[in-house]
Amino acid sequence: MASSPQRPTPLADPDALRDAVSRHYEDKLETTGCCGTKAVPVDDAPEGVPSFGCGDPNAAAALAPGETVLDLGSGAGFDTLRAAEAVGPSGEVIGVDMTPAMLERARAAAAALGHQHVRYLEGTIEALPLPDASVDVVLSNCVVNLSSDVDAVLREAVRVLKPGGRVRISDTFRHGAATADAAADAASDLEGWCACEAGAHDPATFAAQARAAGLEDVHVDAPPADVADGDVYGAVLHGTKR
């Protein structure tokens, strides 16, 4: 299957870009988050665990007891710990993250809460350290936009999903005709990229990539009514594995 053209990125080397993103979020670890007005408050937030997200993929997934859930770019554990409550001890929650400091914080939080059905793996979302067809749900919260290879992320998400499994990716999107100009600007804006602004998706393109990766029933939530042309906003991409 032919891959779609890759977005321009502020660093041409994918490993260098990952390192820059990892350093950015390690520096933000002692704050309450970095998404500013894109952050979405939730009622069941785990106390003391910072969120770096832009939405609520857990709510969109309607998690059920006993399910196996994977969180792409799990960070300090905000969404995995919420998922652990939803699936209960009969389920399993797996977080994958590339930043050791994030993994350390998340493991400590899971241990403090007594969540023995949560585990964290070091790895990248473009090459997940999991077997095929091993999870029921793939979540992500404001992470996929940071990747230099979105197609690989989506293919990996589909690979590890069981047939009929679902994807709920909360991420940043850019509204309207300014998307192309913003993508070109990303080539020189490393800080904007790390802050989830420069790499924000075009919703139609992201949905098409999800379908090409093997998802069906794909749609992206509509933008807020007050969003202006060129604005970045948070929304959830929904899809199901064939």
Which pLDDT tens digits describe the chain residue by residue (242 residues)?
444 556 789 999 999 999 999 999 998 887 655 554 445 556 676 877 878 889 999 999 999 999 999 999 999 999 999 999 999 999 999 999 999 999 999 999 999 999 999 999 999 999 999 999 999 999 999 999 999 999 999 999 999 999 999 999 999 999 986 556 666 666 689 999 999 999 999 999 999 999 999 999 999 999 999 999 889 999 999 999 98
Domains along the chain?
Answer: 53-241 (3.40.50.150)
Nearest C-alpha neighbor of 81 from the set 125, 112, 54, 121:
112
Give residue 184's pLDDT.
67
Q: Distance (Å, rounded) from C-alpha 241 to C-alpha 13? A: 31
Nearest to 172 by CA among 74, 19, 6, 36: 36
- Is residue 6 within 8 A of residue 126, CB to CB? The reply is no
Mean of the per-residue pLDDT values of the chain: 90
Would you state the pLDDT for residue 94? 98
The number of helices, as runs of H, and strands, as runs of E, in the chain is: 8, 7
pLDDT digits (tens, 9 = 90+) for 165-174: 999 999 999 9
Rg for the chain (alpha carbons), in Å?
A: 16
pLDDT in tens, 175-205: 986 556 666 666 689 999 999 999 999 999 9
**pTM for this one?**
0.91
